[in-house]
Amino acid sequence: MAERFSSYAEFWPHYLREHSRPRTRSIHYAGTITALLLLAIGVVSGPWWLLVIAPFAGYGPAWIGHMFIEHNRPATFTHPVWSLLSDFRMLFLWLTLRLEAELRGACVPGTVHGSPDPD
């Protein structure tokens, strides 16, 4: 059964813990960036099929990462809006070199307050 959260603030640390392995996060970044590029190119230059495949390019690698690396169920299935928002937030924090502090705050393994690194 899916965990219930009364706010996004409660969901965010859970999301980070569900993405505890660096390889999983890397796959998410690649998928999110690819999906954003496909959307941008599709909107600017017009091939409509890029807009159709963009979600698959974003979610496909992420779901594979959860299956084979994290061995957990993607949050997309239970909290789709918060999960999408968190994908973008995690990518932004990583790009701005501020993700590590968030991971520590959520007690993600491999951080100062978390257990040993799972990778």
What confidence tens digit (pLDDT) does each residue in 78-107 have? 999 999 999 999 999 999 999 999 999 999
Average pLDDT for 32-49: 94
Instruction: Answer for the pair 95, 89: CB distance below 8 angstroms, yes or no.
Output: no
Average pLDDT for 13-27: 95
Residue 104, class by beta-carbon neighbours within 10 Å (0-12 exposed, 13-18 middle, 19+ buried)?
middle
